[in-house]
Amino acid sequence: MQIQRVGVVGAGTMGNGIAHVFARSGYAVTLFDVEQRFLDRALDVIAKNLARETAKAKITAEQEAAALERIMPVLDRSRLGDCDFIIEAATEKFEIKAEIFRDLDRIARADIVLASNTSSISITKLGALTQRPAQVIGMHFFNPVPIMKLVEVIRGLATSQSTYNVVRDLAIALDKTPVEVNDAPGFVSNRVLMPLLNEAMYAVMEGVATAPAVDEVFKLGMAHPMGPLTLADFIGLDVCLDIMRVLHAGLGDPKYRPCPLLIKMVDAGWLGKKSGRGFYQY
């Protein structure tokens, strides 16, 4: 099947980036969110990011205008009915995604693939809520979507090879690099990254080193572009804690126990960059 129109559910940080890259690659995009102000904000961000790409001569002014033209914002979910592929990038709560997947299964053509951009929710579980578990898959983009090359492609237990092929080919068409993984808590990216950040927090909590010292070790010694505590502040400490809890509950190994300092900071409302305070002040 030729994919021409792509549906994106959720127009937040990731949804607007996903709409941006599909539109830039020539796909028509139907962008859905629950309130007009979220759609307006997303189109604003996309317009600014496309203009920046034009200023840097990555695309031409004509390509910028054409990409924006291809994005159709909608508040009525039934308008996703004519999409050839749909990716969900709504809030990371199981109940929200469960309701969306049940409804998309009803609205979308029976032959199309439904993907989720979730960072931690089980693809197998989302697939089981639909009548098409073989056509449900994870397509995990990274922030900022227009820049980051990786797409982690996650197979649920029931995901078929042809569904995998659809998403692999789409990722390549977007000039991304797909990497195949199986469904497991945290997939590969967060299963490996989050324990690193968590361990860095233990080092600070135990007084092994200050946050800037831990970050310097990783920047200068391991050539990481930013240290683990800066990265945790950027991701959001609440998000880090949620993911550690998913790993701890899902894998059952005490090595995934969230750092008590992380729990305390989240309780204090110190969520990192977005709240003005985390391991650093912003």
Residues with catalytic annotation?
119, 140, 152, 190
Which member of 118, 124, 159, 230 binds ligand NAD (CB under 6 A)? 118
Minimum gap (Å) between residue 171 Cβ and ligand NAD: 14
Q: Is 119 in the site for ligand NAD (CB under 6 A)?
A: yes
Q: Is 38 in the site for ligand NAD (CB under 6 A)?
A: yes
Q: Is 78 in the site for ligand NAD (CB under 6 A)?
A: no
Please, are residues 87 and 6 in contact by the beta-carbon 8 Å criterion?
A: yes
Stretch that binds ligand NAD, among 19-27, 138-146, 193-201, 213-221 (CB under 6 A): 138-146
Decide whether 15 or 127 has the Cβ nearer to ligand NAD.
Answer: 15
Distance in angstroms between the alpha carbons of the first and the last residue of the chain: 48
Handedness of CA 197, 116, 179, 82 (dihedral sign): negative
Stretch that binds ligand NAD, among 140-148, 166-174, 178-186, 254-262 (CB under 6 A): 140-148
Q: Is 230 in the site for ligand NAD (CB under 6 A)?
A: no
Stretch that binds ligand NAD, among 57-65, 116-124, 174-182, 221-229 (CB under 6 A): 116-124
Q: Is 11 in the site for ligand NAD (CB under 6 A)?
A: yes
Minimum gap (Å) between residue 267 Cβ and ligand NAD: 21
Q: Is 9 in the site for ligand NAD (CB under 6 A)?
A: yes
Q: Is 163 in the site for ligand NAD (CB under 6 A)?
A: no
Query: Under the rule (CB under 6 A), what is the footprint of ligand NAD?
Result: 9-15, 32-34, 38, 89-92, 96, 100, 117-119, 140, 142-143
